A and B are shown apart, each in its own frame.
Chain A
Amino acid sequence: SQTIHQWPATLVQPVGSPLSLECTVEGTSNPNLYWYRQAAGRGLQLLFYSVGIGQISSEVPQNLSASRPQDRQFILSSKKLLLSDSGFYLCAWSVLGGSTGELFFGEGSRLTVL
């Protein structure tokens, strides 16, 4: 069966510090991968998606970046965090070329920038 792991689960970082959130998927190959952010009381905002290694599409201009160094690994990064980067970050995957579009989410990473 497929599983998705996301870490760390929580972190508190000072403004201006770097960020690295990691996500890995097991049990499937060539998945579409996504990073979403959820602000308090808000819906999910798509940040990045990837259809293959090294292929990253950005939906929202920001000081965040994403990379996909391996087929089932997706990393969200920042060189210098802003207060506005605080939120709940969710990694997700879907079947590449599948017909359902169903997303499978990780458990999330809660980031607090102070």
Chain B
Amino acid sequence: SQQGEEDPQALSIQEGENATMNCSYKTSINNLQWYRQNSGRGLVHLILIRSNEREKHSGRLRVTLDTSKKSSSLLITASRAADTASYFCATDGWAGSYQLTFGKGTKLSVIP
């Protein structure tokens, strides 16, 4: 079964706007990761946040984690057309496990 579920399923914004995607999961995690997938390509790792962290930044990306609500959000600021892609959250089940479980993803379209 899917551990992470992204919301919304699809998001369309204008270039320059911010994009926020959410992820909810069901069981305790060691860490949560976000990946990006361009159409027809492999996934690329964006950022990892550990269960004892609440917020993390990487360039235009900001990730938050609320373990009490079992949810995470990915914020992309000042979006660009090149940010158009699907974004997936992935969770692991226990410390030392690298069996990541992926959600169905959010498809982001950034309109120039």
Contact = CB atoms under 8 A, between A and B. Distances in A.
Interface of A: 6, 32, 36, 41-44, 46, 49, 59, 88, 90, 92, 94, 98, 100-108, 110
Nearest to A36: B102
Contacts of B81: none
Interface in B49-106: 88, 90, 92, 97-105
Interface residues of B, number: 25
Contacts of A6: 42
Contacts, number: 59
Interface of B: 2, 4, 30-31, 33, 35, 40-45, 48, 88, 90, 92, 97-105
User: Which 3 A-B pairs rank lowest in CB-CB distance, beginning with the nearest?
Assistant: A105-B42, A44-B102, A43-B104
Contacts of A44: 43, 88, 102
A56 B97 CA distance: 15
Contacts of A94: 98
B28 to A, nearest CB: 15
A43 B88 contact: yes
Nearest to A4: B42
